[in-house]
Structure 1
Amino acid sequence: MTKPPGSKTKTTVWIVEKGQVRSRQDQLTTEEPLEIRLMSPRRTLAVTMRTPGADFELTVGFLYSEGVISCKEDIQRMSYCVDESVDGEQRQNIVNVTLREGLNPDLQPLERHFYTTSACGVCGKASLEALRLRGYPVILPEPVVTAEIIYNLPDKLRAAQGIFNATGGLHAAALFDIQGQLLNLHEDVGRHNALDKLIGSALLSQELPLSHHIVMVSGRSSFEILQKCTAAGVPIICSVSAPSSLAVSVAKEFGITLIGFLRGERFNVYTSIERISVFTNKG
């Protein structure tokens, strides 16, 4: 059995705290696509972003929750891709499933789970290549904002989360100008949905690209968050938690300043720190 890629990825991070900056090595949660592929008839059932590890369990849970199988005996065989024509790294991101003979589930409802398809499978490199093929430009090195402006964003986001304050159960995506003024905010049970609402609002009001804005999301920054912000031309993305490894790769590829662990007078900068102006405290 092929061993899946690791669940951690090393990176250099810049820590901005109380007007000072230092760098150190850090670890990110690895994010890679997993393709669940049915062998007979041969077709891709779904592609989902995940942290490598327990891929067979993830596959079984997905198939059961979607009504494809009703018990473990419905799966005749399950393995990582063994096709030698597929790059080794990509083979680790494909799970082949053979259902028991005579089982013919309705697969049409699974169409909503297609993230992307590829004849040779998917991996982080393929995800980045898909973004390149869309023709998104590298974002220009401006604007530059002060660390003090970044420090204040979480409080402004939380103060504007009306539904969260009432329910405690929603994610948010907020749009700020480079002075830290809150321009728009949307809430949703899914942070990706909240960001879609925010970008959709900007599109409808003809404000794209958001090349002089800051986006902040609750939760962590994943590949999907970076993908959406790349399309919208956002130069600075902040979150209160950690980014994934693939999110950092996208940020590096397209020149985005990616900030995580934004709490109080401290945050981590994972890419393009040149957009952050840090004033060192004296005395």
Structure 2
Amino acid sequence: MLKEITTSQNIVRYNGQSFFEEEDEIAVETALTIILDGDEFATMVCTPSELQELVVGFLASEGVIRFYQDIKSLHIDEEKGFAYVELVNKHNIQKDLHSKRFIGSCCGKGRQFYFHNDMKTAKTVMTKLTVTPEQCRDLMKKMQESSSHFQQTGGVHNAALCTSDGIVISRTDIGRHNALDKLFGYCIMNRIPLKDKIIAFSGRISSEVLLKAAKIGVGIILSKSAPTNLALNLAEELGITAVGFIRGNGFNVYTHQKRIQGIEYDRSSEVLVSRFP
């Protein structure tokens, strides 16, 4: 039996003048534990939807699998909150590498990562895709309009895989990382090419979110919120265009600005010489 992803509850609302009672929609939160080749691997707190995509995307993000065919079997017991995964080649779980914070360098460039598996799975993105300012604003608007669960509850994050012209697939979860893992899982399960894709995202661009985008292989990430400085350092090194604060008619372009059409540089000095309207 599938779990509901929203539930209703009677609340007391204040409208600035008086109190009144009404029914409100609340986002459902559940725990899902992955049992990998018979061993407990990880527990995620998530929205109980698209759980197969979530598990596949999470395992790929963690470097456990590269292809959907690496999974021999996958069974999800939603009632008990377990996902049982058996791999074609049994995984040697190194629990210390998946639980301890790791900051190191890569390729002699001083790149910083949180975990050991990030060094294995994060990759530099080389896409030549460009987008217009209008497309950035339109994709963010379409992503927000596509989430009925956010409109009902206000308690979830949204992520959408897009082309420059529209949304390919969108996913919702209480966890922003989970929403991205669901997109990753969908791409792996359906062999979606990613060189011409964009991610539109509702939350802030943290270093973890930026690494998720790099692992997926998408070169442009759009957000209505702010980035962190570590996220921008990683975006610069990993070749990702980070665009934030997409609200109304404006936005900020933080890294690899040349993918946004209308920004022009003096090639000899790399100095910005004109801006889009």
Over aligned residues, Cα RMSD in angstroms?
2.8
Paired residue secondary structure (2:247)? coil
**Where do residues 29-108 of structure 1 align in structure 2 (5 Å cutoff)?**
none
Distance 1:196 1:256 in 2: 18
1:261 maps to: 245
Query: Hey, what's the Cα distance between the residues in 1 that align with 2:130 and 2:159?
Result: 21
Residue of structure 1 equivalent to 2:126: 140
Residue 153 (structure 1) aligned to one of 139, 148, 170: 139
Give the aligned partner of residue 176 of structure 2. Answer: 191
Distance 1:143 1:190 in 2: 28
In structure 2, the CA distance between the partners of 1:233 and 1:246, relative to structure 1 (3 Å rule), is same
Identify the structure with bigger relative contact order (alpha carbons < 8 Å, sequence gap 6+): 1
Task: State how many pairs are aligned.
Answer: 167
Distance 1:223 1:131, change over 3 A: farther
Q: 1:245 to 1:131 in 2, by over 3 A?
A: farther
Residue 128 of structure 1 and its aligned partner are, at CA, apart by 7.3
TM-score, reference length from structure 2: 0.54
Unaligned runs of at least 5 residues, structure 2? 1-94, 263-274
Q: Is the 8 A contact 1:128 1:250 kept in 2?
A: no
Query: Which whole-Å deviations, capped at 9, do the CAs of 1:122-149 have from their partners, x for residues lacking one?
Result: 7995417957842654222510111110
Residue of structure 1 in register with 2:198 after alignment: 214
CA distance in 2, matches of 1:251, 1:131: 18
Q: CA deviation at 1:216?
A: 1.1
Counterpart pick for 1:225 among 209, 212, 215: 209
Partner deviation per Cα, 1:227-282 (whole Å, 9 max, x = no partner): 1110111010011111111110111111110011011111101100000002845x
- Equivalent AA in structure 2 for residue 195 of structure 1: L
1:80 alignment counterpart: none
Match of 2:260 in 1: 276
Aligned residue for 1:211, secondary structure, equals: coil
Native 8 Å contact 1:141 1:275 kept in 2: no
* Deviations, residues 191-246 of structure 1 (Å, cap 9, x unaligned): 111111111111110115x2211101112011111111101110100111111111
Pick from 167, 177, 192 the counterpart of residue 153 of structure 2.
167
Counterpart Cα distance in 2 of 1:126 and 1:191: 21
Task: Tell me the equivalent position of 1:78.
Answer: none
Give, in whole Å, the separation in 2 of the partners of 1:117 and 1:280: 41
Unaligned 5+ segments in structure 1 are: 1-110
1:241 to 225, 228, 233: 225
Q: Aligned equivalents of 1:188 and 1:137: distance in 2?
A: 25
Return the letter of the residue paired with 1:188: D
Q: What do the CA deviations read for 1:81-135 (whole angstroms, capped 9, x no partner)?
A: xxxxxxxxxxxxxxxxxxxxxxxxxxxxxx79955445xx779954179578426
Residue 280 to residue 215, structure 1, CA distance change in 2 (3 Å): closer
Q: 1:204 aligns with which of 184, 189, 198?
A: 189
1:163 match: secondary structure:
helix
